[in-house]
Amino acid sequence: MIGIVDYRMGNLFSVSKALERLGANYLISADKKELLNTDALILPGVGSFRDAMDRLPVDTIKEFAETGKPLLGICLGMQLLFETSEENGLTKGLGLLPGSVRRFPGQTKDGGSYKVPHMGWNRLNFVKPSPLLENLKEDYVYFVHSYYVDASNSDVLIAKADYHEQVAAVVGKDHIFGMQFHPEKSSQLGMALLSNFLKMAVEREAVR
Partner 1 sequence: MTLTKRIIPCLDVKEGRVVKGIQFVQLRDAGDPVELARIYDQQGADELVFLDISASVEGRKTMVEVVKAVASELAIPFTVGGGINTLDDMKNILRAGADKVSLNTAAVFNPDLIREGASFFGSQCIVVAIDAKYDNELGTWRVYTHGGRRKTERTVLEWAMEAEKLGAGEILLTSMDSDGEKNGFDLSLTKAVSEAVTIPVIASGGAGKAAHFAEAFIEGKADAALAASIFHYKETSVQEVKNYLRMKGIPVR
Residues forming contacts to partner 1 in the complex (CB under 8 A) are 11, 13-14, 17-18, 20-21, 46-48, 76, 106, 113-123, 140, 142-146, 161-164, 182, 184-188, 190-191
Neighbours of 164 (CB within 10 A): 17
| Residue 133 DSSP class | G
Q: Identify whether 184 is a catalytic site residue.
A: yes
Question: How far apart are the C-alpha atoms of 16 and 82, rounded to whole Å?
Answer: 24
- Residues 6+ positions from 102 with CB-CB distance below 8 Å: 85, 86, 147, 148, 149, 150
- Residues 6+ positions from 109 with CB-CB distance below 8 Å: none
**Nearest residue (CB) to partner 1, 2 versus 15:** 15
What pairs with residue 121 in β-bridges? 142
**Nearest residue (CB) to partner 1, 36 versus 116:** 116
Catalytic residue among 75, 118, 145, 165: 75
Catalytic residue among 20, 184, 203, 205: 184
Q: Identify whether 118 is a catalytic site residue.
A: no
Q: Identify whether 87 is a catalytic site residue.
A: no
In angstroms, give the least distance from the CB of 128 to partner 1.
20
From edge to edge, which strands make up the β-sheet containing 71-74? 26-29, 2-5, 40-43, 71-74, 176-179, 165-173, 157-163, 125-126
In angstroms, give the least distance from the CB of 140 to partner 1.
4
In angstroms, give the least distance from the CB of 188 to partner 1.
8
In angstroms, give the least distance from the CB of 189 to partner 1.
10
Catalytic residue among 87, 118, 165, 182: 182
Does an H or E element contain 176, and which?
strand 176-179
Asked, as a colleague might, if the bond just before 44 is cis with ω within 30 of 0, I would say: no
**Nearest residue (CB) to partner 1, 17 versus 62:** 17
Question: How far apart are the C-alpha atoms of 190 and 95, rounded to whole Å?
Answer: 26
**Nearest residue (CB) to partner 1, 112 versus 129:** 112
Residues recognised as catalytic = 75, 182, 184
